[in-house]
Each structure stands twice: as structure tokens, then as C-alpha cells.
């Protein structure tokens, strides 16, 4: 029988999820980012991996010194900080019983396989609930469970296209482009953590377990809901506009000095525009004072010319200096940070966005912390991602109480591979 953490009215110095045990079958990106939050805020997260079929991210660049190896991927290491790892051959006949023992220990089981995979191992929600009535199971897949396309395979960036975000990205005179990376993988996890914690709350209140099924398609559609409504009620299909915005001009990314350096600027109000005018032409004369540009409608009507003149002016500026100068004049402006800039960004540094962990094979590596600062129970990233199978002995003996003999027999039988 598991014990759920319960309120006793006394503050503890721990993190919010102190005492929450997570049996984590997640892989690739969307699942591991979700359970990284859980680990960062104090849950005990045990990832189940396979020696025979190591996960995609363990085989993904960048690798330490460019040399591939299952314990050398900084991609994997970043998304799996603060977790422990065990290896189990799920096709071994004894794996099932071992996982049920883990399920008795767990408050939460997470997985993002194609629907049906957990059931094929007889570890579906009904089986988990039979051994642990209050368990919360979280399943997420591209399209959700049930329906004609539940098992459709995919690859990284396609979900951005399926949800309609690709058609909203790029230049109107060119082909649309996918938003960078497997973009929806990084939209879904915040909905996922909120839903998981809501599920744990209900389980704590009612003593009853629950199975949460999250379709990544359905979740990501909330990031374009007004665009969908525009089609449903007005019949309008919105499309990509480059960097234009109907409520602002100028609005875009403008070139700065150096190779591929840019600053983003958006003038939504008279105050913004007047700040820009003053900065470009402090003496109150010159092109910014062309009457064609006096009003928003005037600037929108002559936006190509405005963009050309502004680009000409920005291109002699260093982007950081221009951002500061424009901001001090009250103009919304920001450097287009590349990934090196992110590490140098004064605000991200102020918030401790990147943290370095020391990994036995990679050495010190950067990972991002959460975007939230808690007044009372901060999160922290303390341990690097697990080596493959690193915590087999600790988890199975110390957390679920296998004897030395039981452990050795599993090892000898090839279960822990």
C-alpha cells in the first residue's frame, strides 16, 4: 500500500513534491521535459530504460568531445537531470512482476509510448490500479488514445505542421517554415505538469487513482485557439506574415552590425513611435518626421519604405547597445539572441537560467532551470542525468526493498538489461 503525502499543517523545508514517487517510462523530449520539472521540484523520479533499446536522446548530439556514446549526450543529460535511472528488459518474463513492485512504490506512473504499449506489457492502468488503487497514470501521445489515428507514427517537427503552426510561420512570398525544433514538445509539458498535479490532488482527496490521457495535438491547439475560432466563425484562414503585426509599425527584426545580428522592434503606440523618432533624429528632423509616418495607419500604408529606412539606420548599431538605447527611450526592443547570447543575457543570468552539473562522462554541462521562482519552496537541480542503469541497485534494494538475493537473481536472469 502506498502512502500519499498528507497535510499536517506544519511547514517543512522541502520542495513542493517532496515524497512523491514517480515511475517514469517517458522518452525522447516531451515526456522527459515533463518529468524534469517533477524532479526539479523534489519528486523522486526513476526512469526505466533499456540496455537493448536505449532511448533516442541518448543517441542524439551534441556529444562530449564529439564522440558518441550512450552516456555522452548533452541533449539527454539536460532533460534528465535530477532523475535516477534503472534498466529493465521489458520483454523479459520477470520484468512484469518487478514493475508491479515499482508501481506499489509509486504515486505516479508516466509514459509517452504509442498507445497500447504499456498494455502489451500488462502494465495498463487497470493492472497498475489493481496493485495500487490510488495510483495516477499519465499517458501522452501524438494523437491521444482511441480514434483511427492513435498509432500514427511521426517525427520531431511534424506536429507543428499538424496543429497549423507551420502554416503561420515564415514569409508570405516564400514557403512556410517549421518553428524551430520539435516545437510542440516544449508547449505540452506545462499543461502536462499542471494536469498531473491536479490528478495527484484528486487522488489524495479521494483515495482513487486516475488515468490521464493527453493528446499532444489537442493540447498544442490551445496555442492557436483564436486562429481556429477565426476560421470557424468568420471562415478566414490566417497565414504567415513574416514579422508583420496588424497593430504595430514598425514591427520586425532589423539588421545590426556584425554577421547575422538583429534587433526586434515593435511600435504599438504613439509613445513607442515618438521614442523611436527621438532616438533616430534627436534634432526633430529627417525621415522619421516624414508626415507619411505620423500615424499608425500612415506607417502601415508605407511599411516597406519604413522598414527599409529603419534597417538602414539599425545596421550600424551593435544589437545589445541598440536594445538598451531604444528601451531607455521607451521603445519595445530586444536583441535577437542566438544560443551564445542566451548564456550572456543579463536577465537570464540574473534568474540563474542555466545551471551547470558535473556528469561523470561529460564533465560540467549546462542545463536550464525552471522559469519560476518560488518564495518558499524553490526547486533545484542537484544531480546530473543518470548513466544507463546507474541506479539499478539503489532503487531496487533501497527504494523498493529487494533483498541482495532477489537482486542478484534478477541480474543473473538478464532482467536488468
Question: Which residues are annotated as catalytic?
Answer: 185
| Nearest approach, Cβ of residue 191 and another protein (Å) | 5
| Nearest approach, Cβ of residue 136 and another protein (Å) | 10
Q: Which of 90, 193, 306, 388 binds another protein (CB under 8 A)?
A: 193
Q: Does 191 bind another protein (CB under 8 A)?
A: yes
Contacts to another protein from residues 3-22, by CB under 8 A: 5-12, 15-20
Q: Which of 54, 176, 298, 301 binds another protein (CB under 8 A)?
A: 176
| Nearest approach, Cβ of residue 143 and another protein (Å) | 5
Residue 380: in which H helix or E strand, if any? none
Q: Does 26 bind another protein (CB under 8 A)?
A: no
Q: Does 60 bind another protein (CB under 8 A)?
A: yes
Q: Which of 104, 121, 131, 218 binds another protein (CB under 8 A)?
A: 218
Give the range of 101-109, 185-193, 293-301, 385-393 binding another protein by CB under 8 A.
Answer: 185-193
- Whether 361 and 72 have beta carbons less than 8 Å apart is answered as yes
Q: Closer to another protein by CB, 194 or 387: give it.
A: 194
Give the range of 225-233, 293-301, 395-403, 406-414 binding another protein by CB under 8 A.
Answer: 225-233
Q: Which of 107, 251, 299, 391 binds another protein (CB under 8 A)?
A: 251
| Nearest approach, Cβ of residue 405 and another protein (Å) | 36
Q: Does 177 bind another protein (CB under 8 A)?
A: yes
Q: Does 334 bind another protein (CB under 8 A)?
A: yes
Q: Which of 26, 88, 123, 221 binds another protein (CB under 8 A)?
A: 221
Q: Does 63 bind another protein (CB under 8 A)?
A: yes
Q: What is the dihedral of CA 271, 273, 275, 280, to 10 degrees?
A: -170
Q: Does 194 bind another protein (CB under 8 A)?
A: yes
Tell me the C-alpha distance between 82 and 46, whole Å: 9
Q: Closer to another protein by CB, 211 or 397: give it.
A: 211
Q: Does 411 bind another protein (CB under 8 A)?
A: no
Contacts to another protein from residues 270-289, by CB under 8 A: 272
Q: Which of 197, 249, 396, 402 binds another protein (CB under 8 A)?
A: 197
Cα dist from 109 to 44, 102, 299, whole Å: 12, 10, 55
Helix 30-40 to helix 188-206 angle, to the nearest 10 degrees? 60
Q: Does 165 bind another protein (CB under 8 A)?
A: yes
Q: Closer to another protein by CB, 166 or 392: give it.
A: 166
> Which runs of consecutive H residues, i.e. helices, occur in 254-365?
270-280, 296-301, 303-314, 319-328, 339-344, 346-350
Q: Does 202 bind another protein (CB under 8 A)?
A: yes
Please tell me what DSSP assigns to residue 288. Answer: G
- Whether 179 and 160 have beta carbons less than 8 Å apart is answered as yes
Planar angle of CA 339, 341, 347, nearest 5 degrees? 115
Q: What is the dihedral of CA 157, 116, 73, 361, to 10 degrees?
A: 170
| Nearest approach, Cβ of residue 365 and another protein (Å) | 6
**Nearest by Cα to 22 from 70, 84, 113, 89:** 84
| Residue window 65-94: x/- pattern of binding to another protein, with contact defined by CB under 8 A | -x-------xx-xx----------------
Tell me the C-alpha distance between 394 and 400, whole Å: 9
Burial 227-240 (b: 16+ CB within 10 A, else e): beeeeeeeeeeeeb
Cα dist from 369 to 224, 288, 376, whole Å: 26, 42, 17
**Nearest by Cα to 144 from 130, 162, 120:** 162
Amino acid at each position: 500500500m502506498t502512502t500519499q503525502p498528507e497535510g499536517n499543517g506544519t511547514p517543512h523545508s522541502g520542495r513542493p513534491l517532496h515524497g512523491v514517487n514517480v515511475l517514469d517510462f517517458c522518452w525522447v523530449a516531451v515526456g522527459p521535459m515533463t518529468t524534469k520539472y517533477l524532479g526539479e521540484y523534489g519528486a523522486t523520479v526513476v526512469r526505466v530504460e533499456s540496455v537493448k533499446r536505449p532511448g533516442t536522446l541518448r543517441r542524439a548530439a551534441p556529444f562530449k568531445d564529439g564522440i558518441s556514446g550512450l552516456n555522452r549526450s548533452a541533449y539527454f543529460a539536460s532533460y534528465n537531470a535530477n532523475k535516477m535511472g534503472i534498466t529493465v528488459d521489458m520483454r523479459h518474463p520477470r520484468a512484469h512482476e518487478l514493475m508491479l513492485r515499482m508501481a506499489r512504490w509509486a504515486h505516479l506512473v508516466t509514459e509517452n509510448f504509442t498507445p497500447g504499449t504499456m498494455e502489451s506489457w500488462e502494465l495498463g492502468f487497470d493492472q497498475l490500479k489493481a496493485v495500487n488503487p490510488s495510483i495516477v497514470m499519465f499517458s501522452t501521445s501524438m494523437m491521444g488514445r482511441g480514434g483511427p489515428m492513435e498509432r500514427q507514427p511521426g517525427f520531431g517537427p511534424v506536429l507543428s505542421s499538424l496543429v497549423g503552426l507551420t502554416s503561420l510561420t515564415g514569409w508570405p512570398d516564400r514557403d512556410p517554415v517549421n518553428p524551430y525544433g520539435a516545437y510542440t514538445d516544449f508547449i505540452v509539458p506545462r499543461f502536462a505538469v499542471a494536469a498531473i498535479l491536479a490528478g495527484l490532488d484528486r487522488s489524495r482527496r479521494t483515495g482513487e487513482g486516475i488515468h490521464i490521457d493527453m493528446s499532444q495535438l489537442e493540447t498544442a491547439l490551445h496555442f492557436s485557439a483564436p486562429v481556429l475560432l477565426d476560421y470557424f466563425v468568420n471562415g478566414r484562414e490566417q497565414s504567415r506574415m513574416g514579422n508583420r503585426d496588424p497593430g504595430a509599425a514598425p514591427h520586425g527584426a532589423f539588421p545590426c552590425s556584425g554577421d547575422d545580428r538583429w534587433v526586434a522592434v515593435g511600435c504599438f503606440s504613439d509613445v513607442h513611435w515618438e521614442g523611436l523618432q527621438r532616438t533616430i533624429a534627436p534634432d526633430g528632423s529627417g525621415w522619421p518626421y516624414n508626415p507619411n509616418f505620423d500615424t499608425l495607419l500612415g506607417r502601415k500604408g508605407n511599411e516597406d519604405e519604413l522598414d527599409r529606412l529603419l534597417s538602414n539606420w539599425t545596421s550600424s548599431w551593435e544589437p545589445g547597445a541598440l536594445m538598451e538605447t531604444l528601451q531607455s527611450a521607451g521603445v519595445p526592443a530586444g536583441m535577437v539572441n542566438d544560443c551564445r547570447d542566451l548564456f550572456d543575457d543579463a536577465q537570464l543570468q540574473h534568474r540563474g537560467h542555466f545551471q551547470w552539473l558535473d556528469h561523470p562522462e561529460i564533465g560540467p554541462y549546462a542545463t536550464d532551470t525552471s522559469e519560476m521562482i518560488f518564495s518558499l519552496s524553490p526547486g533545484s537541480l542537484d544531480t546530473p542525468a543518470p548513466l544507463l542503469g546507474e541506479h539499478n541497485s539503489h532503487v531496487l534494494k533501497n527504494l523498493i526493498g529487494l533483498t541482495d538475493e532477489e537482486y542478484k537473481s534478477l541480474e543473473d536472469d538478464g532482467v536488468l538489461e
